[in-house]
């Protein structure tokens, strides 16, 4: 390749050869080293630089080369010594040679701080984010929530076909049922409910006060109390503004967990797994609260709570065999049914719908 050894300008005997770059130009100076009270770099009798040994620091170099710099020289000034004896000589004189070397005791420090940062992120995810979600939700204006609801509604309509069922008698029965549950739930008339024609057996509340019941759920329902319970559960979500809380919570945890694992290849699965674990426990709690709310509403109406549990059970079947409870976003159906059976009271109020009304509700999409 190149080099010092074949150089016609071999240095004088007894003085170590080295290459010097002064940090202001890329010119390569062939220098000889003189170890006096300071390290002197000579080039043809001129002293190019004199570095005090205490200021000399090691810089990265390939194996077999000692590359040093000096604190008092320009930042990029470099001296390269390829002669092992001279390198050893210099190293023995510079006590602080490796003082700035990165990554020595530093690693323990990095590990320590990383653990502290991780602990703090975990604490924020477990305590801080739920707290923030609870506190921030009431501060968000209803108008903003309604806007979010409008957005979600448009997407839902696209995803599920968007056919709203409104046969006159069915709509009348549905309104009667909704009004009864709504009043008992203490919600005002800004709440809107619709039946959407889709075979998926489900119901949900959108932010800002829109409740959708899918016709698939009505098909599976046997009586008005079952549907009333589900409506009450969804009103519970609205009352607690769970949508907004979930939004803040999900945003916060996704962000923090993503931050934690960063861009290690394959970390996607880790992020997904830990997020599902954390958010599942959060939504389970919200679902439980909505169930509590629904139970209270049904008690006030003087209607039984067990039918709601039975409807859910009919839709999902027994879950305990299939899913791991800590990964599930809802409490297990059998546990919900058990709870609603325990809370069940014999009916003390009038039926919510007459037989004829129930029949027209079932036929609302025809």
Partner 1 sequence: MNQMSSVPQHPPPAPQPPALPAAVAFSGNRGEFRRLVTRGAGLELVTFGFYRFWLATDMRRHLWANTHIDGDAAEYTGRGRELLIGFLFALAILVPIYLAYFILGVEIERLKAFASVPLFLFFYLFGQFAIYRARRYRLTRTVWRGVRFWMTGSGWAYAGRAALWGLLMMFTLGLILPWREAALERYKMRHSYYGDLQGSFEGSGWEFFKRGWWLWPLAPIAFYVLPLAPFVYGAFKAVEWRWWLSGIRFGGVRLESTMRRSALIGLYWKYVGWIFLLGAVFIAYLALSAVVVASIDGMSLAQFSKPQVFLKSIPLLALAGLGYLALVLGINVVMRIYLLRDLWVRVLASTTVYNVQAAANVSALGDLANALGEGFADGLDVAGF
Binding site for partner 1 (CB under 8 A): 1-3, 7-9, 19, 21-30, 44, 59-65, 67, 74, 76-78, 80, 102-103, 106-107, 110-111, 113-115, 117-118, 147-148, 150-151, 154-155, 157-158, 251, 255, 259-267, 269-270, 273, 321-322, 324
Contacts of 291 (CB under 8 A, 6+ apart): 233, 236, 331, 336, 339, 340
Tell me how far the alpha carbon of residue 42 is from its chain's centroid: 60
Confirm if 237 and 286 have CB atoms less than 8 A apart.
Answer: yes
Contacts of 302 (CB under 8 A, 6+ apart): 345, 347, 348, 349, 350
Q: What is the DSSP string of 293-326?
A: HHHHHHHHHT--SHHHHHHHHHHH---TTTS-GG
Rounded CA-CA distance 156/151 in Å is: 9
Q: How is residue 224 written in tokens?
A: 């008005």
* 28/135 with CB nearer partner 1: 28
**Secondary structure of 230-242 in HEC code, one letter for each residue:** HHHHHHHHHHHCH
How large is the C-alpha radius of gyration of the chain? 37
Contacts of 114 (CB under 8 A, 6+ apart): none
Rounded CA-CA distance 232/138 in Å is: 21
* 12/262 with CB nearer partner 1: 262
Neighbours of 21 (CB within 10 A): 18
* 156/363 with CB nearer partner 1: 156
Nearest approach, Cβ of 108 to partner 1 (angstroms)? Answer: 10
Tell me how far the alpha carbon of residue 63 is from its chain's centroid: 44
């Amino acid at each position: 390749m190149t080099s010092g050894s074949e150089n016609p300008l071999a240095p004088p005997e007894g003085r170590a050869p080295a290459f010097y770059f002064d940090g202001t130009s890329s010119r390569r100076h062939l220098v000889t080293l003189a170890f006096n009270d300071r390290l002197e770099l000579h080039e043809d009798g001129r002293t190019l630089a004199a570095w005090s040994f205490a200021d000399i620091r090691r810089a990265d170099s390939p194996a077999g080369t000692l590359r040093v710099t000096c604190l008092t020289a320009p930042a990029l000034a470099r001296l390269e010594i390829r002669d092992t004896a001279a390198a050893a000589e210099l190293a023995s004189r510079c006590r602080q040679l490796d003082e700035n070397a990165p990554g020595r005791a530093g690693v323990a420090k990095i590990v320590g701080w990383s653990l502290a940062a991780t602990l703090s992120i975990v604490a924020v995810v477990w305590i801080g984010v739920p707290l923030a979600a609870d506190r921030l939700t009431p501060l968000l204006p209803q108008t903003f929530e309604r806007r979010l609801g409008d957005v979600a509604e448009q997407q839902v309509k696209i995803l599920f076909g968007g056919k709203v069922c409104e046969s006159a008698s069915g709509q009348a029965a549905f309104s009667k049922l909704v009004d009864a549950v709504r009043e008992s739930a203490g919600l005002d008339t800004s709440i809107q409910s619709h039946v959407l024609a889709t075979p998926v057996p489900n119901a949900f509340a959108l932010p800002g006060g829109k409740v959708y019941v899918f016709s698939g759920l009505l098909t599976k329902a046997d009586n008005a109390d079952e549907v009333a319970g589900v409506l009450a559960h969804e009103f519970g979500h609205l009352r607690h503004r769970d949508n907004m809380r979930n939004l803040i919570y999900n945003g916060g945890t996704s962000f923090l967990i993503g931050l934690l694992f960063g861009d290690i290849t394959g970390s996607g699965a880790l992020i997904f797994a830990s997020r599902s674990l954390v958010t599942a426990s959060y939504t389970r709690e919200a679902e439980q609260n909505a169930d509590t709310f629904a139970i209270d509403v049904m008690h006030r109406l003087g209607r039984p709570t067990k039918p709601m549990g039975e409807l859910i059970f009919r839709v999902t079947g027994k879950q305990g065999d299939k899913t791991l409870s800590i990964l599930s976003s809802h409490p297990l159906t059998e546990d919900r049914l058990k709870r609603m059976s325990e809370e069940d009271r014999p009916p003390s109020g009038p039926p919510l719908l007459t037989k004829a009304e129930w029949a027209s509700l079932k036929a609302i999409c025809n």
